[in-house]
């Protein structure tokens, strides 16, 4: 005969009370699922978590046995109930305090299980005996030795001692220098109230020197409120504060990328943000620098690379492109700033051409510039009439009409002649489908005065879809 393998116990459908509910036939759940759900709801415990980890229900019930202020009472007269071996030290602990930590509570229940058929019932019996008002003539409790291994380098013996101290005292001061270690210890001990206190301390103690470690801790322990607080703090302080200190080097690339993409990011101007990002890249590549570099030093560093390709096109710059794609380079409009970008050869030429082209779409429809030749002042103008229509002309102006530019031309000679004969030509060119398209007037000779119509030149009018458009003017002044 073949021996049949004994069947494993299965969940059975049984009658419970006046209802027909699912019921577990054995421990750890002796009641029906509906009753268990109601019990979890009353104890403010997640029902799904209890199904996965039955110890949580037992620990929660034991925690409710003791009043909240028990841990603040003096217990030096009592001997320790448990000796915890951890980090090379032996820590003496008492039963009521153990159950504030889920980790220590589980270790304690496992210790009871080694010698008792019903460890939960036994633990409740022992703990009830320790309640205030109970007779001191109780059976002696044998000290239990528990062992806990910790591999987290953040948890030092000082941080662990502070965490254990919080089992006994409600308001133990936690300094910024110690909070990371205490947070890590609270996480290992599953001491939720202490963990949240540490998070609160960290959120209120964000500085350029702490932002990196606090953010990484939030990521490590999946503490979203902490990581969100770090991101919001960086959005306000990246440019004006962090971007002026050596701590900028420590900012993780992931955090920097999130902040650069945020619509709430504060900056004085887009060029200030670009300078901050260039400083960050410089500090990543020069990790031995101990002092915050001058911006001119950064420009010299990037200018020192060979001119055959831009920095972002090199291998070292490829993994940084995602950061610089977050910048709104079209907001950099000053000619000096754009020329600086070309000089350091940091961006690909296609990026700079696109920025220049965007200016033609986003800037004013009229662009003008004042020039001076032989004491005569001319304003040259380019006007965009619609998407494909442009015109260019120049006109003579009085030196007294120069708004806000008197300081620029104060050492420039001024001609008092009312009229002057000038031969000029206006040219414009643009790139269309990779080919240069050119426009020009004939050579025109005209006597320029100071009043209309003699003060204004002929206009060059063009139709083109090309951008950008480069215009030039050439002059020949008559001696007469």
Written as one string, the DSSP assignment of 145-157 is EEE-----TT--H
- State residue 50's pLDDT score: 54
Residue 66 is given by DSSP the state S
End-to-end CA distance of the chain: 132
Token pair in block for residue 149: 């291994």
The whole-angstrom separation of Cα 117 and Cα 114 is 8
Give helix 102-113 / helix 55-63 axis angle, nearest 10°.
Answer: 110
- State residue 136's pLDDT score: 47
Q: What is the pTM of this model?
A: 0.62
The label of the residue with tokens 């200018």 reads 303
* Model pLDDT for residues 270-312, shown as the tens digit of each residue: 999 999 999 999 999 998 888 999 999 999 999 999 988 999 9
- State residue 464's pLDDT score: 85
The whole-angstrom separation of Cα 160 and Cα 189 is 9
- State residue 462's pLDDT score: 87
- 453: which residues sit within 8 A by CB, 6+ positions away? none
Q: Do residues 94 and 167 make contact, with C-beta atoms less than 8 angstroms apart?
A: no
Show the low-confidence residues of the chain (pLDDT under 70).
1-78, 115-142, 358-364, 402-411, 475-480
φ, ψ for residue 32 (rounded to 5)? -85, 165
Q: Do residues 355 and 330 make contact, with C-beta atoms less than 8 angstroms apart?
A: yes
- State residue 260's pLDDT score: 95
Q: Do residues 96 and 66 make contact, with C-beta atoms less than 8 angstroms apart?
A: yes
- State residue 70's pLDDT score: 45
Helices (H), 238-304: 253-261, 270-285, 295-303
Tell me the C-alpha to C-alpha distance, in Å, between residue 102 and each of 33, 53, 130, 131, 192. 24, 11, 20, 20, 9
- State residue 126's pLDDT score: 56
The whole-angstrom separation of Cα 136 and Cα 396 is 108
- State residue 88's pLDDT score: 87
Tell me the C-alpha to C-alpha distance, in Å, between residue 318 and each of 305, 321, 339, 348. 15, 6, 23, 11
The continuous run of DSSP H or E covering 231 comes out as helix 224-237
- State residue 230's pLDDT score: 96
Q: Do residues 252 and 228 make contact, with C-beta atoms less than 8 angstroms apart?
A: no
- State residue 58's pLDDT score: 52
């Amino acid at each position: 005969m073949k021996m049949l393998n004994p069947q494993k116990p299965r969940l059975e459908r049984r009658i419970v009370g006046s209802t027909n509910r699912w019921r577990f036939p054995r421990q750890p759940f002796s009641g029906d699922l509906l009753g268990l759900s109601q019990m979890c709801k009353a104890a403010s415990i997640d029902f799904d978590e209890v199904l996965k980890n039955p110890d949580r229900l037992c620990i929660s019930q034991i925690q409710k046995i003791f009043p909240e202020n028990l841990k603040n009472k003096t217990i030096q007269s009592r001997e320790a109930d448990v000796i915890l071996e951890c980090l090379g030290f032996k820590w003496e602990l008492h039963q009521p305090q153990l159950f504030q930590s889920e980790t220590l509570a589980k270790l304690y229940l496992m210790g009871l299980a080694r010698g008792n058929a019903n460890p939960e019932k036994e633990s409740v019996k022992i703990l009830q005996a320790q309640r205030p008002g109970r007779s001191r003539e109780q059976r002696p409790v044998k000290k239990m030795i528990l062992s806990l291994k910790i591999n987290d380098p953040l948890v030092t013996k000082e941080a662990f001692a502070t965490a254990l101290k919080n089992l006994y005292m409600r308001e133990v001061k936690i300094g910024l220098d110690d909070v990371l270690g205490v947070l890590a210890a609270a996480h290992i001990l599953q001491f939720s109230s202490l963990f949240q206190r540490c998070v609160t301390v960290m959120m209120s103690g964000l500085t350029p020197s702490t932002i990196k470690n606090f953010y990484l801790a939030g990521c490590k322990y999946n503490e979203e409120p902490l990581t969100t607080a770090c991101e919001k703090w960086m959005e306000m302080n990246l440019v004006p504060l962090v971007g002026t200190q050596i701590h900028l080097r420590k900012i993780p690339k992931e955090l920097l990328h999130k902040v650069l993409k945020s619509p709430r990011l504060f900056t004085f101007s887009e060029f200030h943000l670009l300078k901050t990002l260039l400083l960050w890249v410089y500090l990543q590549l020069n990790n031995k620098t101990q002092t915050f570099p001058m911006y001119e030093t950064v420009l010299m560093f990037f200018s020192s690379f060979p001119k055959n390709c831009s920095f972002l096109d090199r291998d070292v710059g490829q993994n940084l492109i995602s950061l610089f794609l977050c910048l709104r380079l079209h907001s950099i409009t000053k000619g000096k700033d754009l020329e600086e970008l070309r000089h350091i050869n940091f961006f690909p030429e296609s990026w700079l051409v696109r920025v220049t082209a965007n200016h033609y779409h986003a800037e004013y429809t009229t662009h003008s510039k004042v020039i001076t030749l032989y004491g005569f002042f001319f304003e040259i103008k380019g006007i965009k009439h619609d998407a494909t229509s442009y015109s260019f002309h120049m006109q003579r102006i009085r030196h007294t009409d120069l708004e806000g530019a008197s300081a620029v031309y104060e050492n420039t000679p001024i001609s008092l002649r009312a009229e002057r004969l000038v031969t000029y030509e206006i040219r414009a060119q643009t790139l269309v489908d990779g080919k240069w398209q050119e426009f020009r007037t004939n050579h025109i000779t005209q006597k320029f005065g100071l009043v209309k119509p003699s003060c204004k030149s002929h206009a060059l009018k063009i139709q083109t879809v090309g951008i950008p458009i480069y215009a030039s003017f050439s002059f020949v002044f008559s001696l007469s």
